[in-house]
């Protein structure tokens, strides 16, 4: 069976949902969105606190694991990614963060015309509905609802006060003129319910006659004929099918799956394709290279305090009372993303801008929250992640089968400067815990532990416990150099009618959570695609 559409979008995540909305809005084009996972109609994708449960879901979470990491004591690092409509925006912590102005100006300096902060800000504003109202940094008529947290357990204010006591300024808006400081994150929520990309961009438009959304579709490859993308081969409803694109194929499958699909289609490093007997259609050595993520470390303390997420009687009683608030008026702990407070700091005062991001957790946490033994303690944790790591990894293939996950090597902490900054981040995290009022609640340091005091001991701790904070980017980088995969219009170099539009096109990682920037990328990509269609 062969189906024809004008545009075929592969991947129904944060980018794909935006593209599907904007490309189908005029009614002039037939648009098909293909998602490998199921619909986002489960309660877990709606109630914010269920992010904890989604971390363990095999149905809605790809649950990638890296190869043994040589700089992290050969540990295989867990990489959760959304496998449902909305993608990672349906399973993430919902933090709305754009990064720093300098991030986008740097992209432009690398030869990517049109990607400066001044030029991308209108896209952030256009797709946003800022509940606080419109100003020079925020819009209020877009589909994506951005709200203040409705969960404000007292421990969060203790954290903010402790950070201020250390000299870190309060910041009411991390997406405003200044990013540095401590405070509450804004969230992609509406009335205490998750506002994913699927909720914002697909749900209101599902009746459009020119928009087809298909789930549980496994795309095998892009059909390439004489240097032109013609469509895709896939498995849908248990049978092999061919979908033809009259205009373009757009890959929005994310930093792991988009390069995998390019390689399965014969586009990539010839030596990698040869290993798996994949016929070469076009040589692009940068496919899968340049992988970046925010390396992250947890500092954890046991507390003499019970208004926390824990498997302890007093905490469970408190949680039950908080849950009643959700039933009555959609407030309380069930609206929590678990990381509603945090901020952006410098490892040293000589830095021109923050190089570390903090996420405060009202629970004793380890192994992405999957270590249940930790939850039998009254405790809190503080994530510290490096905003602009110099370490680079790669995505390659395990085989020529689209049913097998790609091979991921993060290569975190391969750069010594990254290590140095992370050691300083641990020291600052400890210092925050040791400021009042948090210091008045401390019982015991769990991680790193009191025995870890020297820089070398802290480094050893980091290499044993560091993880990802779930922001992989860069594997189909935009640029002009020999490793660039797409140009500034996000067109795959050397192949016509094929683009990539997702976090994989970022040449360098932005200084913050990547969900909002990924949606911005898709909105800008849609305008470029439609402009080409009108020529």
pLDDT in tens, 401-429: 999 999 999 999 999 999 999 999 999 99
Read off the tokens for 101: 């102005």
CB neighbours (10 Å) of residue 271? 9
| CA nearest neighbour of 102 among 508, 520, 519 | 508
- Four-point Cα dihedral 33, 36, 42, 45, nearest 10: -80
CA angle 319, 322, 323 (to 5 degrees): 85
Collapsed DSSP state (helix, strand, coil) of residue 193: strand
Q: How confident is the model at residue 2 (pLDDT cuts 50, 70, 90)?
A: confident
Q: How confident is the model at residue 1 (pLDDT cuts 50, 70, 90)?
A: low
CB neighbours (10 Å) of residue 66? 22
Own/partner contacts of 432-436, CB < 8 Å, gap of 24 or more, are 432/159, 432/162, 432/163, 432/166, 432/168, 432/358, 432/382, 433/162, 433/299, 433/301, 433/380, 433/382, 435/161, 435/162, 435/163, 435/165, 435/166, 436/161, 436/162, 436/165
Q: At what angle do helices 515-533 and 117-126 cross, to 10 degrees?
A: 100
Distance CA 338, CA 319 (A): 13
Read off the tokens for 214: 């298909």
Q: Is 138 a catalytic residue?
A: no
pLDDT in tens, 227-262: 999 999 999 988 999 999 999 999 999 999 999 999
150-184+295-386+413-465: CATH, from 3.30.499.10, 2.40.170.20, 3.30.410.40, 3.40.50.2300: 3.30.410.40
Q: What is 1-56+81-117+195-294+473-535's CATH number? A: 3.50.50.60
Domain boundary assignment for the chain: 1-56+81-117+195-294+473-535, 150-184+295-386+413-465
pLDDT at 467: 98
pLDDT in tens, 335-393: 999 999 999 999 999 999 999 999 999 999 999 999 999 999 999 999 999 999 999 99
Distance CA 291, CA 255 (A): 8
Phi, psi torsion values for 10, nearest 5 degrees: -100, 110
Distance CA 265, CA 492 (A): 12
């Amino acid at each position: 069976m062969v189906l024809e559409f004008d545009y075929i979008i592969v991947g129904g995540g944060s980018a794909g949902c935006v593209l599907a909305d904007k490309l189908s809005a005029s009614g002039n084009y037939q648009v098909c969105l293909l998602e490998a996972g199921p619909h986002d109609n489960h309660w877990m994708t709606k109630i914010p606190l269920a992010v904890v449960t989604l971390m363990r879901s095999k149905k809605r979470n790809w649950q990638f694991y890296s190869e043994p990491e040589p700089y992290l004591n050969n540990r295989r690092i867990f990489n959760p990614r959304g496998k449902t409509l909305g993608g990672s925006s349906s399973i993430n912590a919902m933090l709305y963060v754009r990064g720093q102005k300098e991030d986008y100006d740097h992209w432009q300096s690398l030869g990517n015309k049109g990607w400066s902060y001044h030029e991308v800000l209108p896209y952030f504003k256009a797709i946003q509905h800022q509940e606080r109202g419109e100003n020079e940094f925020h819009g209020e008529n877009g589909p994506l609802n951005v709200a203040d947290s409705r969960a404000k357990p007292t421990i969060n204010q203790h954290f903010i006060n402790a950070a201020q006591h250390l000299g870190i300024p309060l910041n009411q808006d991390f997406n405003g003129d200044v990013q540095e400081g401590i405070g509450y994150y804004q969230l992609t929520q509406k009335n205490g319910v998750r506002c994913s990309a699927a909720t914002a961009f697909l749900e209101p438009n599902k009746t459009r006659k020119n928009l087809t959304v298909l789930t549980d579709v496994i795309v095998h490859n892009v059909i390439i004929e004489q240097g032109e993308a013609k469509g895709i081969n896939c498995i849908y409803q248990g049978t092999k099918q061919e979908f033809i694109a009259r205009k373009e194929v757009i890959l929005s499958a994310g930093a792991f799956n988009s390069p995998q699909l390019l390689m399965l289609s014969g586009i990539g490093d010839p030596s990698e394709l040869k290993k798996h007997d994949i016929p070469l259609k076009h040589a692009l050595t940068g496919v899968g290279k340049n992988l970046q993520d925010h390396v992250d470390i947890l500092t954890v303390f046991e507390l003499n305090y019970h208004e926390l997420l824990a498997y302890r009687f007093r905490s469970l009683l408190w949680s039950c009372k908080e849950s009643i608030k959700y039933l009555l008026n959609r407030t309380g702990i069930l609206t929590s993303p678990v990381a509603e407070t945090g901020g952006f700091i410098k490892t040293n005062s000589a830095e021109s801008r923050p190089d570390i991001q903090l996420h405060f957790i009202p629970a004793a946490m380890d192994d992405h929250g999957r270590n249940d033994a930790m939850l039998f303690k009254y405790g809190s944790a503080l994530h510290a992640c490096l905003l602009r790591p110099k370490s680079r990894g790669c995505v390659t293939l395990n085989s020529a089968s689209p049913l097998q996950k790609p091979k991921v090597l993060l290569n975190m902490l391969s750069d010594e400067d990254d290590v140095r900054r992370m050691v300083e981040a641990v020291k600052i995290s400890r210092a925050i815990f040791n400021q009042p009022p948090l210091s008045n609640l401390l019982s015991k340091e769990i991680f790193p532990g009191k025995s870890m005091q020297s820089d070398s001991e802290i480094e050893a701790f980091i290499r044993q416990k560091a993880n990802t904070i779930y922001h992989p980017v860069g594997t189909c980088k935009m640029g002009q150099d020999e490793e660039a995969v797409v140009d500034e219009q996000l067109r795959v170099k050397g192949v016509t009618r094929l683009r990539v539009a997702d976090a994989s096109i970022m040449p360098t990682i932005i200084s913050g959570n990547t969900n909002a920037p990924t949606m911005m990328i898709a909105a800008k990509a849609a305008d470029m695609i439609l402009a080409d269609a009108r020529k």
